[in-house]
Amino acid sequence: MGAAEARHDDLMAQVLKQAVRARIEDAALSCFAADGYEGTTMAAIATAAGTATANVYRYFASKQELFATVVPQQLREAHDRLLDARIEALGTAPAGAAAAGELLDFWIAHRLAVVVLLGRAEGTTFADYPAAFVQRLVRHTERLLDGEPSTAQREVLELVFDNTRRAIARILFSGKDSEQIRALVTVFWSYQVPGLDGLVAHLRTNPP
């Protein structure tokens, strides 16, 4: 075999390895989003990827390593930044529309990873994210009030924003394609934003 043929074979082998790795990562995301981290096994990921469990371990030493690859810390940080920008720009144009569009684009581009982040990461370092997401939205809302909400008012805010978390995760998980996800999120926001405006107005006129 000549040098050129050897390089060609090495390149083809590398391409195949990258394809297998990508298939494993896609399968892992699907499994984590559907069954959660704790409910997913490496064997299940292998089955979804159409390969052997031993082959999965050739690419990833553990389920933890695989999870960290498909749901990295940077995802959480980016999501928080975009979420903050979306909330802070509410009611302003065109900044509000731009921030909403950036967040929605992020959700679509990373939809299964965001589903995991929002409620399927039990047993990982992201297990606290659902509660942190809710509290982040509560803090943003509190800034719009004249004072601290009462215990009952805070409980209502937490309930509202936990339902928001669940709705977003469900839309991203069940959406068939980016077009449908955009449509569903747009409808959800058309209900949610006016509802939040009304809730804030009520809390302002009914201080604790």
> Per-residue pLDDT tens for 120-163?
999 999 999 999 999 999 999 888 887 788 899 999 999 999 99
Q: Which pLDDT score, from 0 to 100, does residue 6 have?
A: 43
Is the pLDDT assigned to residue 106 strictly greater than 60?
Answer: yes
Residues 50, 63: Cα–Cα separation, whole Å: 17
Is the pLDDT assigned to residue 41 strictly greater than 50?
Answer: yes
DSSP letter string over 59-122?
H-SSHHHHHHHHS-HHHHHHHHHHHHHHHHTTT-TTHHHHHHHHHHHHHHHTHHHHHHHHH--T
Q: Which pLDDT score, from 0 to 100, does residue 95 have?
A: 73
Which whole number is the average pLDDT over 191-207?
A: 86
> For the chain, what are the domain ranges?
3-70, 73-205
What's the full length of the chain, in residues?
A: 208
Structural contact between residues 111 and 175, judged by C-beta atoms closer than 8 angstroms: yes
* pLDDT tier for residue 7 given thresholds of 50, 70 and 90: very low
Mean pLDDT, the chain, integer: 90
Which whole number is the average pLDDT over 19-29?
A: 96
Give the torsion sign (CA, 156, 159, 165, 169): negative
Residues 6 or more apart in contact with residue 191 via CB below 8 angstroms: none
Give the torsion sign (CA, 201, 204, 206, 208): positive
Structural contact between residues 103 and 82, judged by C-beta atoms closer than 8 angstroms: yes
* pLDDT tier for residue 13 given thresholds of 50, 70 and 90: very low
The CATH superfamily of 3-70 is: Homeodomain-like (1.10.10.60)
Q: Which pLDDT score, from 0 to 100, does residue 1 have?
A: 53
